[in-house]
Amino acid sequence: MKIKKVFLLITILFTVSLIGVNRSLSAKADEQKRVRFQIVAAQENSTERKVLSQTTIEGLAGTDFNVNLQTANFKLHASFICDLVAPDKLKIKSKLDTRRFYGYSPANLPLYEEDAQNHTLILGFDENIVLLPFGRNSGGSGNETLKIEITPTLFADVSSAESSDALKININKPLPSGEITVEAFKNPHRFQVEAIVLADGREIARGTSEVLFDEEQEIRLAPNTAAKNSAQLLTAKFTVNKYTRNRPQDFVGIGYRIFQAHLENQAQTEILSGSGIAILGNDLRYQLNNNQLADDKKYELRFNVRAALSEQNK
């Protein structure tokens, strides 16, 4: 038996804007800068602070990382996707999944608290993120608060030797029990997506867009002269939500929703949705056999996902 209760708190120190950012690409110089994340797990009460573990991650801007905490009664998985969106600003998309033993029901069945949170944060390099996996205790010498603190640092212009794409993880102070682990990786964040609609094997509409990892992007399918009215107003909402490095053939996972617009009332109707996995650069093909497009033609939808030019050769 499970119960769901929100209990994980996120505290953003100083001023953090929670608004979206535009999709303009960072300058090439910014992409070559390095960012260091210091990740500290500490236990505090009203009288003292004890550092349990400390890990440092360093890599090119765009380095992502995961923090995992697991004890006998508690499990936390926190993933962070990081982008340098201005010379002094980071955009961090976080996903947090937690599970904690809560007790037993009257029938002596175990009960668990579970929580899932997604956050998009814009913060400067004079700010940090604090996770409170068990919540904030009310105080008193016997009440302890567990904190996971994440502090970013941006390196200014560095020498070519220092600015290599090497990813470094230093465990400055490991937790003896191994309950906290940190992993880091550098995957593409920007992809060029091409969407094509075919009728009886002939292309009738096409659209392209740059898509940021794990963010839905609208792709308008512009018709050509061979298009019928039913296909002229299609729009795709597309997400790249998984990336698996498996050189020479990397894989991407995608999700999509296809909409048809109605000129008379400006409304949109979702006519197809789905997901898939494909080799980067290869087509994903889906049949559009929906009543809204019903006629004597066979419609096909194709997606092709490639790493954006700014991500190639990384």
- The DSSP result for 174-186, as a single string, is --TT--EEEEEE-
Regarding whether 150 and 210 lie in a shared domain, the answer is no
Last residue of a domain, one of 152, 185, 218: 185
Same structural domain, 162 and 84: yes
Domain boundary among 118, 152, 185: 185
Residues 154 and 216 in one domain: no
Domain total in the chain: 2
Ranked by mean pLDDT, the top range of 45-59, 145-159, 186-200, 280-294 is 186-200
User: Is the domain of 123 the same as that of 205?
Assistant: no
Task: State both tokens at 177.
Answer: 């029990």
Rounded to whole angstroms, how far apart are CA atoms 54 and 39? 6
Question: The domain containing residue 282 runs over which residues?
Answer: 190-311
Among 185, 217, 239, residue at a domain's last position? 185
Question: Quick one: 255 and 214 in the same domain?
Answer: yes
Residues 6+ apart with CB under 8 A from 248: none
CB distance 190 to 310 below 8 Å: yes
Distance CA 64, CA 78 (A): 11
Does residue 156 sit in the same domain as residue 196?
no
Q: Are residues 20 and 106 in the same domain?
A: yes
**165-207 pLDDT, tens per residue?**
678 888 888 776 768 888 999 999 999 999 999 888 889 889 9
Both 121 and 226 in one domain: the answer is no
274 and 156 share one domain: no
Query: Is residue 158 pLDDT above 70, yes or no?
Result: no
DSSP state of 64: E
Q: Predicted confidence band at 20 (pLDDT cuts at 50, 70, 90)?
A: very low
Q: What is the pTM of this model?
A: 0.75
Q: Are residues 19 and 134 in the same domain?
A: yes
The average pLDDT across 301-309 equals 92
> Would you say residue 9 has pLDDT above 90?
no
